[in-house]
Amino acid sequence: MGCAHYPTNAKLDNFDKDKGYRFQNLLSQENSDSLFVILAFSGGGTRAAAFSYGVLEKLRDTEIIWEGKKKRLLDEVDVISSVSGGSFTSAYYALYRDKIFADFESQFLKKDIEGALEKELFSPLNWFRLASPEFDRIDMAAEFYDEHIFNHRDFKDLQKRKPFILINATDMTLGARFEFTQDQFDLLCSDLSEFPISRAVAASSAFPVLLSPVTVKNYAGGCNFSEPGWVKNAMNDRNIATSRFAKAMQVRSYLDKNKRPFIHLMDGGIADNIGLREPTYSMFSTDSPWSVLRMINMMQVKKIVVIVVNAKTEPNITLDQKESAPSLKDTLMTVANAPMDNYSFETIELLKKSVEQWQKDEDARKSCETEMKKSCPQATLAGGHLYEVDFYPIVIGFDAIQDPDERSFFKNLPTSFTLPSDTVDKLRNIAGRLLEESTIFQELKGHLK
């Protein structure tokens, strides 16, 4: 009993880019590349899970015509990037697809997960197990998710077709995003295919202090891994492209297993609470393993839809009504949440500004061509026309709710793994309604008829 140990991640014998859970290894089938749809699900416990589930329902019910074929918008989703509570929805959908609409509510959304976890924690059987230094509260939670939500499924059980699911956690040492993809596990020479889905979701939602981090073993150096080509070049970018240099440094930090024999992972919300950073990186850099920018340059993508599902709340705090110093709990909550909220806001701004700049660049080139043709009609700019892509950045959150009372209701919902059944239903419904009310979503639908 005292020897309880978390399930250790498997060693990878031979690095092979053609194997494992990566975007490039998933089949497209009826899902075109030309309409590229990315969903980003935020953290926020069951509130976030239900809100993102409501978006899946809405996309299921949205009929489109693309390249002459009638289909559901849901069937065009290419990537879902999720954090914490949102990872329950993304992982469940990645495993079961449309079955999610039949049983996700009973399996997760309307279950008292928090109560069940507390019961496990106070079970005398688990006291002995938790006494082991290699078995912690998060491992117990992962076991519960494995047994009661994800039915002992591993990454090899995920469907071999799009969408590609990015379950995001945070590497405690780097304070950086850590994804459960084979591209990330290659760095550790570890085989993701045997890794339980429940453990990835547990890591993604391991809120500091409440839950302990998930630990993975680093086997780097023993699988003939060759690092991506960009890393060597990016090591020269310290002064000209600092973010690229920093990414390369992070990649290389995993390659010395003697320095980092174990990687400790906690809530993905610490590094990015809306799951949008990796999609943004993919859209504007050729370095990402699933670079959308490379696909654009190869003229494979015509429209990019990004739907950010942000379940951020803003509780009515009355701190400023009192002269006395705020309580320790209030202080800790502010310390934990304010930086995440600020960073999420900045991430969304970054996406919007990047899209605006992209369009300005297209316009600048067109204007230049027009001016040149006025004096020399035969002239063309070297490189020809800039390949154009239509962007649809859609952000849905409770801020957009018009009615103040209704808005206040949603913005005061707790972050927990238990919510009343009717609250879950309200979250599902408001998600669909907010998406429908989005002017960009309406514009998109108009273009997909």
Cα 270 to Cα 177, 178, 240, distances in angstroms? 8, 11, 27
In the chain, the largest separation of any two C-alpha atoms, in whole Å, equals 86
The correct pick among 57, 72, 121, 228 for binding other proteins (CB under 8 A) is 228
Q: How far is the CB of 294 from other proteins (least distance, A)?
A: 5
For other proteins, the closer of residues 291 and 415 by Cβ is 291
For other proteins, the closer of residues 269 and 397 by Cβ is 269
Binding mask 323-362 for other proteins (x = CB under 8 A): --------------------x------x--xx--xx--xx
The correct pick among 209, 240, 335, 376 for binding other proteins (CB under 8 A) is 240
Binding mask 256-295 for other proteins (x = CB under 8 A): ---------------xx----xx-xx--xxxxxx-x-xx-
CB 78 within 8 A of CB 31: yes
User: Are β-strands 77-83 and 69-72 bridged in parallel, bridged antiparallel, or unpaired?
Assistant: unpaired
Environment class of residue 306 by beta-carbon count within 10 Å: exposed (0-12), middle (13-18) or buried (19+)?
A: buried
For other proteins, the closer of residues 333 and 386 by Cβ is 386
36 binds other proteins, rule: CB under 8 A:
no
Euclidean distance between CA atoms 370 and 380, whole angstroms: 10
Cis peptide before 261 (omega within 30 of 0): no
For other proteins, the closer of residues 55 and 301 by Cβ is 301
Encoded amino acid at 397, one letter: G
Q: Which of residues 361-420 bind other proteins (CB under 8 A)?
A: 361-362, 364-365, 368, 381-384, 386-387
Binding mask 292-311 for other proteins (x = CB under 8 A): -xx-xxxx------------
Q: How far is the CB of 370 from other proteins (least distance, A)?
A: 12
189 binds other proteins, rule: CB under 8 A:
no
135 binds other proteins, rule: CB under 8 A:
no
Positions in the binding site for other proteins (CB under 8 A): 171, 174-179, 183-184, 228-230, 233-234, 236-237, 240-244, 246-247, 250-251, 254, 271-272, 277-278, 280-281, 284-289, 291, 293-294, 296-299, 343, 350, 353-354, 357-358, 361-362, 364-365, 368, 381-384, 386-387
